[in-house]
Amino acid sequence: MSDKTILRALRGEVLPTPPVWMMRQAGRYLPEYRATRAKAGDFLSLCYNPELAAEVTLQPIRRYGFDAAILFADILLIPQALGQELWFATGEGPRLTPVAGAEGLRAADAVHDTLSPVYETIRVLRRELPPQTTLIGFAGAPWTVATYMVAGRGTPDQGPAHLLKDTDRAAFTGLIDRVTQATVEYLSAQVDAGAEVIKLFDSWAGSLKGADFDDFALTPARTIIAELKRRHPGIPVIAFPREAGERYVGFARAVGADCLAVDNSVSPEWAAQLQADGCVQGNLAPHHLVNPERLEEETARVVEAFRGGPHIFNLGHGITPDADPDNVARMIEAIRRRR
């Protein structure tokens, strides 16, 4: 449906009311998600069960009527598909067997055997989503994924990846290249299965500076987007180089993205300049859904700041597990009454 609001905004149309969805909109803040995850048994089992993964993707659509659903999966399924051991430690997050380069990893086109349940989830969703709801597929950007692969876990400063990058740039570049190629294969298969939009999450892009940002955030994104658009002409792509700051300027144009998602470390008034290159997505601070004293005021501020150009309303990062589901409904009401 070419008249879906998300797709219209991605084409550059300025709409009287911005379409809205939330990063991590299917997640732990919802009681129905927690019940489904318990049924699955553990997080990875949920990711790889197409019926249950589709169910948690659909839950926020049923509850709130978001304009888009985003596939329920995890950015670290790519390392697992490349042969790296992955598990989730209760209360501690993901764990992987650390790597120091691409040696020992599978070829990029070998990921589909592991990831085929994800593609089936997309096919289920295309059958079950309301016809007006856009389906977004996604992957983590190579730098962000590589930071976990090298450290074997999340780190506050991405220090192990920076160390490998600085001491053995050739090995680190080889790892980035392998993840880049695998990400193309993964996202292309998502589009084949029915994803209508692709989002590339570079959650740790802000820790890259200077030439490192160009080499490991900008260049891989440009490579992935160019190949996706070659294989799937017209597929819209949203790029999210989180906390890029001044490097947000010109990023969408440089990588060929149709939309730039921005975090809440920049003000919406500053970020509105980015609409000169097309659609901008963002950027309400997630804490307003926990402490709602200024929720409606700040929601209105974001809508107003981006009113002059194409805009998709979203948070500046994912909704947190302690958010109140009722506050999400208040946010959506505040957006849609400002038509």
Known active-site residue 28 = yes
Q: What's the helix, strand, coil split of the chain in %, to 5? A: 55, 15, 35
Partner residues linked to 87 by β-bridges? 95
Q: Tell me if 86 sits within 8 A of 80, measured CB to CB.
A: yes
Tell me whether residue 148 is one of the annotated catalytic residues.
yes
Q: If we measure between CA atoms, which residue out of 124, 139, 116 comes closest to residue 53?
A: 124
DSSP-assigned letters across all residues of 16-39: SS--B--TT-SSTTSHHHHHHHHH
Q: At what angle do helices 31-40 and 50-64 cross, to 10 degrees?
A: 170
CA distance 269 to 280: 12
How far apart are the C-alpha atoms of 198 and 144, rounded to whole Å? 17
Measure the CA–CA gap between 236 and 70, rounded to whole angstroms.
14
Query: Minimal CA–CA distance to 62: which of 273, 338, 334, 328?
Result: 328
Of 29, 119, 148, 186, catalytic: 148
Decide if 339 is catalytic: no
Question: Which residue in 74, 202, 258, 277 is the catalytic one?
Answer: 74
48 is catalytic: no
Residue position matching structure tokens 């601070």: 285
Given the residues 37, 106, 301, 338, the one annotated as active site: 37
24 is catalytic: yes
| Catalytically active residues, by annotation | 24, 28, 37, 74, 148
